[in-house]
Amino acid sequence: MQRIILFLFAALAAIAFAAPTPRKHHSSHIGTFSAQARGRKGTTRNPLKAMERAYRKYNWSITFVTPSGQTFTLGTPDGDGSDASSAPAPAPAAPAPVSSAAATSSAINQDAATLTRTTTAAPAATTSSAAGASEQENGEVSATPESNESEYLSPVSVGGQTLNLDFDTGSADLWVFSTSLSSSSIGQHAAFDPSKSPTWEDYPGASWQIMYGDGSGASGTVGLDIVEVGGATASRQAVEIATKVSSSFVSDENNDGLLGLGFSKINTIKPQPQKTFFESILPKLDQPVFTADLEDDAAGTYEFGRVDTTKYTGTLHVTPVDSSNGFWEFASTAYSIGGTTYQNSGASTAIADTGTSLLLVDDNVAQAFYAQVQGSQLSRTAGGYVYPCSAQVPDFGVQIGSSGFIATIPGSDITFAEVGQGTCFGGVQGNGGGGIQIFGDVLLKQYFAVFNGGNESFGIAAKSPQVNTKA
């Protein structure tokens, strides 16, 4: 009898050990949660870099003059996306002290920078191929401002490797620094290594290239991999591997790449544009939305799949967007200065762009605003409007589409940076006649923003006092 019991025990044990290990069960819904991110550098803002990023991104150029009389073009061409490790052109000196007298048209024109759009090319609409989402899920991720607050960076897992990427609603490419670059180009960047990803698939014949009006750019090959953002996962997501980058990208050591959250009409992959990360996971989200809750000089959050009503108070002001150009684009035909609203006849349309730090409005609007700031001028040496840091700056607002809502920045929050000798650089600047107004983080961090991919709309609301660090 004892032998029989021992035999049965041994048989059962053999069966148990021979059986495959059960796989962990993944529920069809993953609740929201956050991933922590940390900046890698100091906290000094660089207005020159902020202007350069914005103008280069939209293929505009800005030329100004140093105190010694030499001309300097923001974004001097640094190659066609070739692998480069040279340092960018040196920045011009800080602006000379400005007069304490009220700014006038003549004073502004005497020190006027030349602001010129160099190219205008709206991408043609194309059909995106599918890149599946794995499960129904929501996700939340931290967004940490870079040292100069030219961008907010968030941790993203690509094939199990973590990179700090710029979440950019003004573009539609997901591209990363890679080990295909030279060591000098990689520098301090985290570089993705496809050979170390067990889920990487090459995309034969596919390539990508981003080119800017100043000649800078990046390009490379394409593959498919698992991309995770704060618990929300897209399987077989198109990932663009940089094999060539120009020096302007190399010098931005905080940023390991970009995660575009615009519309895939402007994705640059050839022969066929691919879906963005948001478009890939859209069918599996509880709601077809993501939200941006950015903070001033502090980590904020992006959340996918729901609108957290505890993060805002009052009305969510919603306007339809026109996605035909690939952007979260809407009309903005009015602005306010010091609480008084003015119409902007012939206004350019506006886009909500988390990848741009400044608020770039039509030139006539910027000039009208700074005419109300004592001592302000459009400085050739700073590349934008400056004023004495002691000046009383009025509140400034812009209309958000058909909602009629004027989103307002308090005057105390207009200053983007001190540039020396008691002079400050404004976070509101002109668009140089670029034909589009860019509503960047100077505005967006004041509000709770909702991007709805289901009905293609953009919403904005006042932050709840308990989560607004300025309350």
What amino acid positions are annotated as catalytic residues?
168, 353
Two tokens at 117? 């759009």
Residue 136: how many CB atoms within 10 A of its CB? 16
Q: What contacts 24+ positions apart, CB below 8 Å, involve 118-127?
A: 118/59, 118/60, 118/61, 118/213, 118/214, 119/59, 119/213, 120/59, 120/435, 121/59, 122/325, 122/326, 123/265, 123/266, 123/325, 123/326, 124/265, 125/265, 125/324, 126/265, 126/272, 126/273, 127/272, 127/273
Two tokens at 47? 């207005």
DSSP strand pairing (334-337 vs 396-400): antiparallel
Q: Are 255 and 144 in contact (CB under 8 A)?
A: no
User: Which H/E stretch holds residue 441?
Assistant: helix 441-444
Q: Are 467 and 293 in contact (CB under 8 A)?
A: yes
Q: Are 313 and 450 in contact (CB under 8 A)?
A: no
Q: DSSP labels for 5-68?
A: HHHHHHHHHHHHHHSPPPPPPPPS-----------SS-----HHHHHHHHHHHTTEEEEEE-TT
3-class DSSP assignment, residue 324: coil
Q: Are 157 and 35 in contact (CB under 8 A)?
A: no
3-class DSSP assignment, residue 282: helix
Q: Are 419 and 67 in contact (CB under 8 A)?
A: no
